[in-house]
Every structure is written in C-alpha cells, then in structure tokens.
Amino acid sequence: VGPVNIIVGSHVWIEDPGAAWIDGEVVKINGEEVHAHTTNGKTVVANIANVFPKDTEAPPGGVDDMTKLSYLHEPGVLNNLAMRYELNEIYTYTGNILIAVNPFQRLPHLYDTHMMEQYKGAGFGELSPHVFAIAEVAYRAMINEGKSNSILVSGESGAGKTETTKMLMRYLAYLGGRSGVEGRTVEQQVLESNPVLEAFGNAKTLRNNNSSRFGKFVELQFDNCGRISGAAVRTYLLERSRVCQISDPERNYHCFYLLCAAPPEEREKFKLGDPKLFHYLNQSKCYKLDGVDDTEEYLATRRAMDIVGISEEEQDAIFRVVAAILHLGNVNFAKGKEIDSSVLKDEKSRYHLDVCAELLRCDAKKMEDALIKRVMVTPEEVITRTLDPDSATGSRDALAKTIYSRLFDWLVDKINNSIGQDPNSKTIIGVLDIYGFESFKINSFEQFCINFTNEKLQQHFNQHVFKMEQEDYTKEEINWSYIEFVDNKDVLELIEKKPGGVIALLDEACMFPKSTHETFAQKLYQTFKNYKRFTKPKLSRTSFAISHYAGEVTYQADLFLDKNKDYVVAEHQDLLIASSDTFVAGLFPRLPEETSSKTKFSSIGSRFKLQLQSLMETLSSTEPHYIRCVKPNNVLKPAIFENVNVIQQLRCGGVLEAIRISCAGYPTKRTFYEFLNRFGVLAPEVLEGNYDDKVACKMLLDKIGLKGYELGKTKVFLRAGQMAELDARRAEVLGNAARRIQRQSRTFIACKEFRALRGAAIVLQSNCRGKLACNLYEEMRRQAAAVKIQKIFRRHIARESYLRIRHSTITVQTALRGMVARNEFRFRKQMKAATIIQARLRSHLTHSYYKQLQKAALSTQCGWRSRVARKELRTLKMAARDTGALREAKDKLEKRVEELTWRLQLEKRQRTELEEAKTQEYAKQQEALETMRLQVEEANAAVIREREAARKAIEEAPPVIKETPVLVEDTEKINSLTSEVEALKASLQAERQAAENLRKAFSEAEARNSELATELENATRKADQLHESVQRLEEKLSNSESEIQVLRQQALAISPTSRTMATRSKTMLLPRTPENGNYLNGGTKTTPDMTLAVREPESEEKPQKHLNEKQQENQDLLVKCISQNLGYNGDKPVAACVIYKCLLHWRSFEVERTSVFDRIIQTIATAIEVPDNNEVLAYWLSNSATLLLLLQRTLKATGAASLTPQRRRTTSASLFGRMSQGLRGSPQSAGLSFLNRQGLTKLDDLRQVEAKYPALLFKQQLTAFLEKIYGMIRDNLKKEISPLLGLCIQAPRTSRASLVKGRAQANAVAQQALIAHWQSIRKSLNSYLNLMKANNAPPFLVRKVFTQIFSFINVQLFNSLLLRRECCSFSNGEYVKAGLAELEQWCIEATDEYAGSAWDELRHIRQAVGFLVIHQKPKKTLDEITRELCPVLSIQQLYRISTMYWDDKYGTHSVSSDVIANMRVMMTEDSNNAVSSSFLLDDDSSIPFTVEDISKSMQQVDVNDIEPPQLIRENSGFGFLLTRKEGSTS
C-alpha cells in the first residue's frame, strides 16, 4: 500500500536508477502519479506507491539509532547512513543491531584505551554507537545472567568483518584480560593465529582479494569471576571444492601461491616452479595480487607459525603436503587397454605422481593403484576393478580435497592447543566471522552453499529481531498478538528438506554414475515447479533461480555434481595411513567403521549441512548480538558512499528485512515527552492542562481521531503511515500559524512606517521652534553678560582698596609679635642649658657606680671558677696518676690550654672595656659638637630674622613716625648680636679642634684593636691545634688503657691472687645525664674515692643492658604518643617535630641498625588504613610533609663533608669538652661567649648528619607514604564528585508547560536544578579545602590536589561532551557555562595560594562550551576557530563538536561545510603523518611533585619552640625536649 498524506509541497524520496533514492518536492499529483522537482534540478514522475515521505526536521548529522527515525523506510535508512558516514560516524544502531560502514582509513582514536574506558560499564545507547558497546552488552549479560553470548559479524568481502572481530576481541580482553603463555594475552594469541588461517583459508574472489572461504567462530571462555580463562577457534564450512576448481579471475587458496614464491632452496626441495605449471592454479589467469609480495607473505606465514607453536619439522611437513597437492593435480589419466580402465597419461603425469608419493612418503605404485583401481568385497570374493579416466580424475580430486581439508583441521587443532582451553568454563562469548550473501553473474555450487548459510543465519536473525520487538512490546505492555511475522522457512525447506530438497536431490544425483547436470536440473524443475521461491530461467536448461531474502539468485548447475562429490575412499585412507611420515599418517587416523575396504559416499553438501546445523545449535544456545558490516564502495577508498552498492548490502545483510519486521508492528516509537514536544501544537489546550504525559498523549490522539496506535508505559507506538498523517496535520497547523504571523508582521511594518512619518513631522516642528527659541536666548544672554561685566569691575575696585589697608595693619602687628617672641626664646634657651648640665652630671655619677659593681662581680666570678677548675684538675690528676709519662704530657698541655684560655678571656675583657670607653667618649664629643652647632645655627637664624624684621619695619613705617630712635636701637642690637656670633665661632673652632684630637685617638685605638684581634685569632688557632692534639692523645690514652686492661686480665687469670683482686672496687659505667654533666651515650665516670680497676664482662654488660631497655621504653612511649592526634603548635605539626627531635637526639640517623623507623612507619600505616577518613589523612599529610622537609634538610649520604666534626664517645670526657659544656651552662661568661653564640648553638639548631642506610630507607618510605596519602585524598574527592559530574554535563529537560508558555520561568527552574549539582561540587571542594587548612597542610600540596581535581573535571566533562550528542546543544552549553562560573567563583574565593592554576585546567571544556554558545557559527572561518575561539582543542575534537552540534533553542546551524571539509583534510594529513588522532582526554593520576619540590616550596620549620605532649612531658628520658625552653627562660 502506498504512503498516504502525500500532498503538493511535501518533501519525498523517489527511486533513482543512479543514486537509488533521491529527494525532491511534490509539485503535482495526478491520480496515482506524483510529479516532483528533485534536488539535482530534474522533474520526475513516479507512482505514489513508490514515493516515501522525507523527514525535514531530521538532524543534519543523522540519528545514532535508526529506530528513532520518524519514517523507518529504505530511503530514510540509506540517507541516515550516508549523512553519518560523511561525518566519519561509521557506526549506527538499528535497535540493538550495529551497522558498521568500512571507512577505508585508519581511525585509531575510535579504538584506543581512552575509548575503552568510556564504554566500560556504560549502558547500551548511553554513548555513541560503537562496536565496543555491543561487546559491553554481551559481557554484562554474561556476567549478570550467567548465560553464554555470541556476536555475529556478517557482511560481504571487504566490508571489514575481520577488523571488527579484532576490535571485539580486544575489548573483551580489556574487560576480562588474562596473561597467556609467555606473557601474551589470549586475545593476542587468537589474533596471532589469523595470518596462518588466512594463508590456508582465504582466497581472492571477484569482490575481495582476501576473502575468507570458511566460517570462523572464536570462543572466548570465561571463569566465574569474568576473567578470560581460555579460547578456541572453531571453523565451519571450508570451501573444499576451491582446491580443485576455480573460475577466472579468482584464485585458489593463498598458501599454494606463497609456496610457489618461496626461496629457491625451498622450491627446489618441493620441486615447485611457476604457478602456471600446475592444473589447480592455472584454471584462472590471476596469479598475483596487486601490492602483495608472495615471497614476503610466505616468510610472514612462517613467522606466524613459529608464534603459534608450530615447529620447524611440522612446518616442513605442512608445506610438503601442500606441494604434494599441487603435484597431485598434474596427474592426468588416459584410457587403458581394457574397457573402462585408465592409465597415467604420459611421463609428465608419472613424474608428478612420483614426486607426490615422495612428498607424502608413500609408495608410488600403491598411490597409482589407489587412484585408478577400486576393491569391491563380496561374500564370495574380493573383486578389483579399474576406473575410467573421468572417475580416476574424480578420485584424484577427492584425494586432494580430503588431504587439504584434513590439513586445515589439523592447523585449527594446533592453534587451539597453543592458545589453551578451559574445560571448567561455564560461559563463553563467541564471535562469528563468516562470509556474507553472494550474488554474481555466474553463481555456482560455492555461492549456493554460502547463500544457504546466510538463509539459516537470516532465519536466526529474524527470530531474534522479532523476539526483541516482542520484548519491547511486552515491556511497554501493549497489545501485539495480531502482528504477523514473515519467515523464510519455505526457502530453507526448499534447500534442505529431506527428502525432496535441493541438497538431497543433488546427493541422489551424485550417487548415480550416469547422472549429469542436465538430468539434475530436470529433476529440480519437476520437483519444484509449484514452488514460489523456485523459478526456471527461460533461456537455459541447466540453470535455476531461488528467491532468497536478499533477492533472486540464478545458479548454474553445470559443475554442481563435480563440486559436491566427496568420496571417502578406503584405498586413499589405507595409502596415507601407511605413509612413513608420521605427520601425514596422523592426518588420517584409522576409524573403526572404515576398516572395511568399501567406498563410502559422502557429499560436500551433506557435510556443509551438518556443520551448519552444528553452528546453529551453538548459536541457539547463546544470546545473540548482531553486527552488520557494510562496504560503502567497490574502489576501497575513503569518503565515497555508493548508494546502490550500500542498499544492496543492506538487503543482503537482512537490515531491510529487520525493518520490514518492525514495520509489520509499530515502526514508529516515541517517548511521551518527544511526542508532545513535536505534536503538542495540534492540541495546545492539552498542554496547558495539568495532565500526566500519558493522559495528555491519549487526549491528543483522540482529538485527532487516530486509530490503531498503542500507548505503552513510556512510549507512543504508531503504525506505519500514521507518523506521516500526524506530520501532515502538524504542517497544516504550522502553515496556518505562519500565515497569521505574516499578517501580524505586515501590520507591524505598516504601523512602523506610520510612526516614522509622524516622527519626521514632529522633528521638523521641533527644529523650527528651536530656532526661534535660540534667537530669543541669544538676546537674553547678551543682556546678562553686560550686567555681569559691570558687577565684576565694581568688585575689583573695592577689593584693591581693602587689600591696601589690610596689608599695612598686618605689618605693624608682625613687628610687635616678633619682639615678644624673641624675649620668650631667650628664656627657654637658658632653661634648656641648665637641664642638660644637670642630666650629664647625674649620668656620670650613676655610670661610675655601675662600673665598680661590674668589676667586683667579674672578680668574684673569676675567683669562684678558678677554684672549681683547680678542684676538678686535682681530681683528674689523682685519677690519672698511674698512666705514666702520657698523663704528665697531657697535664702540661691542659695547663697550657688553661693559660691560653684565661689570656684570651682577659684580652677579650680589656678589648671590650676599651671599646666601651672609646664609644662613650666619642658619643659625648659628638653630642657636645652637635649642641654647639645647633646653637650657632639658631643664633645666625635669629640675627637674620631680626635684620629682616627691622628692614621691613623701616620701609613700611608711616611718614609721621620719627626714624632716628629706631635706627639707633637697631644698630645697638646688631652690634651685640655680631659680638655674640663671633664668640660662638671661636667656641665652634675650639670644639672642632677637640673633635680632631678625638679622631686621632680613635684611629690609634682602632690600630691597637686590630693588632689585638690578630693576636686573638692566632691564639684561637693555637687553641684549636692544641684541642686536636689533646684529642689524639686521648685516643692514644684510650688504646693504651685497653691494652693495659687486657694485660691485667691475663695476669689475673694466671695469678693465684686473682680472686682477691677481683673483689676490689670496680669502675662504674654510668649513663651520662644532665646531673653528671654528660650525654646518655657518653663515656665513663669514675667516682673520686675509687681507684682505677679492671672492668670485667659483668660490669660491662649490666649498664649496656640497662641502656638498651631505657631506649626501648622511650621508643615505646614515642610510638604510643604519635599514635594519638597531637594537634598543632601554631601552624607546626607537633607529631612531626617531636619525632624529628627524638630521632636527632637519639642519633638514630647515624646507627647501622634500629627498629624505631619501622615502628614509626607502621604507626602511620595503621593510622591511614581507613581510606575514607579524610580527617586522619589530612592530619598525616601535614605531618609527613613536615617531617620529610626536616629530613631533606638534615640528612646527607655517608661520605659527604659534614657541617660539624664527627662526635666521638670520648670527646665529652676531655678538658675542652667539659669546658664547652660549662660554657653552654653559663652563657653569661664573657671570655668564651663567642664560641657559644657563633658555633655550638647554630649547630644544634640545624645540623646535617651523615645518614646510614636505615635513615635513608626511612626517608624513602616516608616519601612513599606521603605520595600514597596525597593520592588517597585526591581519589576520595574524585569519588565524591564523580556522580555529580554525570548530572552536570546534561541540562535537565524543560518541563511540558514550557512547550506552550513560561519558557523563561521553566528554564530558570531547570538552571537552578543544574546549579544545585554544581553547588554540591563546590561544597565538596570547600569541605576538603577547609579540612586541609585546619590540618595546616602545605599550600603547595593543596594546590596540586585541586589542580588535578580540576583536570579530572575537565576530562570527564569534555569526554562526555564528545561522546554524547545530546550534550552538544546550544542550551546545554549555556547550562554548563553557568556551572563553570560557579567553579570560577570558588577559585577566586580560595585565592591563588590554594587554588593555584586550577582554573586553567578547565581550558578544554571552557573553550568547547564557549564554542557551543557563540552565535553565527557558519560565518566563522577555520582560522578564527583554531586561533581565537578554541586554540587548545585539536582538529579531531573540533570536528567532533562541529558535527555533533545541534541548536535546540534557536535552530541555528553549525559551522559551514567548507570548514568541515578543511577539517577532514587536516585530519587525513594527521593520519598519514602518524599523528595521534584521539579526540578524548586522558586523566593524569600520577604524583605531580618530588621531594625537592616540597623542600623548595615549604618554609623552614623551627622545632625548638614546640611544646611537648603531656604523655612525655613528665618523663625524664625526654627532658631534652624542654632544654631549649628552659634555657631561654633562664
């Protein structure tokens, strides 16, 4: 039935012989004829039944699912595929069927890891169509339902089936990958087997140079966890007849030609030559393929065999069998002497037979007998009969096909064994790659078998499509029971029915020796004369035609019988089993039923049928998914879309058949929202009412009067033609609305013109009135100017008189006030001088008293310290009496050091006193000089002021005043002042002379001081040298003591009085504490009342054991303390500072073995075990960063130059060490205070130590934990905002009310809903920022966290934008832009200290959104877009956005077609230059900083002012934590 509602002005599709379908506009309808103007400028007349409506509102880039098309018909499908192919969108859905159009170019961005990550876990239809989506659906169905799935990839040769299969296996391996043998994955092993299978199973056909002549079903086996556990390659329906018969210009299997092109030594070994010399190859004139080097392919096949595990011996055996088949084909037969007998035709045949027997390792005579003789076993006797030449030739071909088939099966088994299979696997995903429907000018037995296979698969496909339709109807709960399903069961019965089918009749004909192709064809004509699907061509006696689902195909039956015969000859079996080659014998295992010497008939058609039945059983046990591959052109070049070619493939692929099934039911399905959005104009009152969407749709359809539709749960289902009827009514309503708008527009234009005329008249009148007013204003302005001039002149005269009187009065007042001020100045000057004299006197008295007290205090201190030093010296002398001459030398050196020390102290004190006295005297002279200079300057100024005042008074005095007294008085004043100035000058000269004397004295003092400083430096250098000498002597003394101790122990062991001596008092090894003046790990301390004795092992072990136990207790207490949250002291983390100070004090960095580092690391690891506790993570982020900073600036590798001399265990026991400790304890000491201030204190504050291996390992572990904590915080924030980002990329749908009214208000509500999601993101960002601020995390790390988070937001939003077409709209760009403004505001509030360059990380999504919301895109050039609008985006990304863009708000278009074409050219160049063409962004999850970065970015931490925690504050072992604080207090 032809389409309805085709009216004049309708846009339609009309059949065209060149372009298949062409669009046009109806200009005239005459009965059943339609006249239309096409887009190519022609006027076409067509029957209305062959005219289909065109959807003028279809998006310019097509739809990704063709079930969404308003008109689901053949031209609509073809046009949609063409539009998408033009935009490089090669994948399109038809329901759950994927149509893949071969692009004939590399598109690596569609198949990289980024794309796999996007489709992993995504629902079907959520992202753009892709082969990964089909694999994802199959995998998820297998995991969730526990049922095996299969993916059927079909299409004609060159459509890209093999590449699609590779992509499927790549994605399935990505989802459930497992490492295979030798590090290769199962998917890699399966793909590596492809070259071998292609060499032995592919051949050149009319349409493809590398056509698979067998079906391949790859089973990927999965375990219970969804991981690939094994794989198997199942092959079906190998085209065996091609081994013996080929037609021009096709070729035989590739392996034959590869072997003929092998290296010379290989060919010589197999006695091969040019392919033209062999009968199985020279039936066609095609021997080489364009662009293919058979020699290189042969070597590549050899390498592929190595990879799949075929040994060199097996490879030689394989190619030996292939060569034997070629030689076997050259064995020809002639008639023998007897009737129906045959013999070898000539010596050439004899040669090839011998070579064949040699290669197969068989006896040549037995092979000859097996080819020309048959043994028949009867109950009475065994009869041997000969075959005629034709039968012998058939026997030869049967042997060749059998050998090749068994060889191919062996290869498949070998490959499966190499890959490995899982016998325990319960679920599989199978990928079927099989040849598609074929229809040539000459179609033989091969095409018959192939089309029979496709009929079976089409039946399976139709059932699946109908099942999907049923599931959709059932899901929506609509009535579908009356829908008829058109099946192809009748065609299958015609072919495979038993008995009576084509295959059965062919087998029957093959079993009769006298049957010919004519008799076979006549049998077919008689049997199927009443079948609709079977027809007989008029001009042929041996051809027949079958009407398949894809169209009618005419088959030539001439070679059907020869190609179908496949005898299993017992003689052949016995011959090859007896081969001396184990490989050849293994190809033909002896079967129990074949032990008799009978010839069993077997046909290729029957085998084909059985294999096909096995394949269908396998597919029926799985859940199928379909991919239809399409070859867009026959020249195999990109950007060419041949409509006629594609439409034929759509028919052959069953896509149009699926559409017919859909059209039988409800081809048009629209959601309630979409339906109301499109057809709401037909019933505005329904939209204005507050109805449910389903109720509104029903009311609208009832008002229109449409019948036969169905309303589901979420969709409206329309019958074929109903969409066109609704569109016609909608067009009528919109046309009426357009005419009304035109009327209103014309009215508006007329009103506008009237208002313009009226406005012009008003303007003219205004100008005239304005001119008159200007004249009047000019007259009034002149009068006002004259009055103003008079007023200003009179005011000037009055002001001049007033100013003269005022100036005279001020002059008199100035003279009187100056005299009073001078008297007051003299009085104040005298008072100030008296005050200064009194202050100087009191200061002198007080300073003298202070110096006396200071001298007395210093004398007392020196006497007391001398007494203490002498006492200690006496003690040391008593302890060292027994050391002999070394002790005496040491005492002398110590005395020398004391003398030098006291000399240094005395010289330092004298120098200090001299400097203070000199400074005070110089300051006094400077003050006096400054005072006198000020007095002189004041006097000069006073004289000058008085002279000026007198001069002014004389000049301005009135004439009536007498001048004589004034002049006399002023002269007296001037004389007195002059004399005073002279006196001051003399005083100043005296003061200058005194200052010069003082300067000379100061220079002499400075020279003396420099000499004293030089002497002091020399004395200091001598003291250091003496100190080093003392240390060396102490070391020698220690060694001598050790030797003496050993000798005494030996003497005690020999002496009978050893027991008595052992009871003597022993030296006690005490830990050095602040009480005894030494460190904990110091040397020995001997009691004054005990003599030096021998230390035995017991007296040595007990103190050491006590020391270790004490250290262990301290470590336990430290670990217990840091396991708590110690908080912060200001902005410094307490835990990090306490750990650092303890490790530094314990000298843990310098020991070779310690457990404290491991315990600290274990404590940190235990604290962060809960990955979601961000409070704990932020706390340890701050502590670990601070501790790492301290370690970075303290530790250095062993062997480097040290900042301080290495500490020795005996240093503190030396005299210099005790003196240093004494000086530390009394910083008021004037003699050696410079040592304390400049040397030792600084070294305690920041000391670099030579770190041993445990310390360096601890630093590395701490670095790893810092990176781990950083990554956990960052990933927690990503996890928190990821669901929100999914809601932010697409704006909420506008409510139904906005379709009629209130659009602005509805958009505001929708925008508020979207902003709510962005505000949630902003809230999460603030939460983490405040958390890290509260824990004093380094701003450097905070910036890195938020920089990576914003990069993650950029990647997620940008990738979602490129993968989802509904997001690339104008309104959606506005929504996302508003959301990005929220993030920008957050960055401003967070400041650069914490946000850093986070806002710049959003550059991709910002520029993409900016491109979406700009107006007049068609006017933008490519240069403007790439340089100004979107400089960051690549050409691939711009192309993707430009082609996916659609304006749902104003209906504007994307960029111009010229820009799109230029983009495609640039993309092609990038592809040729091997430039990465991925348009997706990758999320960077690496750690973006190093230890050096932390060290440079963080400020120095002062650990001295840290208050110790309460837990360790009272413990004496941690007293060193309080030392600095106490020292500062004292």
Give the DSSP per-residue string, 324-349. Answer: HHHHHHT--EEE-SSTT-EEE-SHHH
Active site residue 1055: no
Which of 62, 76, 155, 158 is labelled catalytic?
A: 158
Is residue 1155 annotated as a catalytic residue, yes or no?
no
Q: What share of the chain is helix, strand, coil (3-state, %, to 5)?
A: 65, 10, 25
Which residue has tokens 């300051």?
923
Q: Which of 10, 149, 202, 211 is catalytic?
A: 211
CA atoms within 13 A on the CB side of 197: 28
211 is catalytic: yes
CA 646 to CA 651: how far, in whole Å? 9
Number of other CB atoms surrounding residue 202 within 10 Å: 23
Q: Tell me whether strands 51-53 and 11-16 are parallel, antiparallel or unpaired.
A: antiparallel
- Whether 433 contacts 276, CB under 8 Å: no
51 to each of 28, 35, 387, 961, how far by Cα in Å?
13, 10, 63, 130
CA distance 774 to 792: 27
Residue 1263 in 3-state DSSP?
helix
Report the length, in residues, of the chain. Answer: 1530
Query: CA 1521, CA 1525: separation in Å to the nearest integer?
Result: 8
**Distance separating alpha carbons of residues 96 and 137, to the nearest angstrom:** 10
Terminal Cα distance for the chain, rounded: 111
Q: What does the alpha-carbon distance between residue 661 and residue 654 come to, in Å, rounded to a whole number?
A: 10
Catalytic-labelled residue, pool 80, 88, 194, 212: 212
- Which is catalytic among the residues 156, 438, 446, 894? 438
By the 8 A CB rule, do 1481 and 1116 touch? no
Amino acid at 718: L
CA angle 424, 428, 434 (to 5 degrees): 135
> For strand 1195-1197 and strand 1249-1251, is the pairing parallel, antiparallel, or unpaired?
parallel
**Dist. CA 1274–CA 1369, nearest whole Å:** 32
Burial 59-94 (b: 16+ CB within 10 A, else e): eebbbbebbbbbbbbbbbbbbbbbbbbbbbbbbbbb
Which of the residues 5, 67, 208, 671 is marked catalytic? 208
User: How far is it, in rounded angstroms, from Cα 126 to Cα 494?
Assistant: 43
HSE toward the beta carbon, residue 1304, CA cutoff 13 A: 0
Decide if 1477 is catalytic. no
Q: What is 138-198 written as a DSSP string?
A: HHHHHHHH---EEEEEE-STTSSHHHHHHHHHHHHHHHH--B-GGG-BHHHHHHHTHHHHH
Q: Which of 70, 94, 150, 162 is catalytic?
A: 162
Active site residue 162: yes
How far is 798 from 1505, CA to CA, in rounded Å? 79
Active-site position among 436, 654, 680, 1517:
436
Please say if 439 is a catalytic residue: no
What are the Cα distances from residue 1480, in Å, to 325, 1134, 1422, 1440? 52, 46, 21, 10
* Options 70, 88, 157, 488, the catalytic residue: 157
Distance set, CA 1463 to CA 82, 87, 1415 (Å): 18, 11, 20
CB atoms within 10 A of CB 132: 25
Please identify which residue in the block is written with the tokens 């497992």. Answer: 178
Is 571 among the residues known to form the active site?
no
| Residue 1004 Cα distances to 923, 993, 1015, angstroms | 17, 17, 17
- Whether the upstream peptide bond of residue 499 has omega within 30° of 0, thus cis, is yes
Task: Answer whether 486's CB lies under 8 Å from 660's CB.
Answer: yes
Sequence-distant (≥ 6) Cβ neighbours of residue 1173 within 8 angstroms: none
Which class for 405: exposed (0-12), middle (13-18), buried (19 or more C-beta within 10 A)?
A: middle
Distance CA 9, CA 26 (A): 5
> Is 212 among the catalytic positions?
yes
Active site positions, annotated: 157-158, 162, 208, 211-212, 436, 438
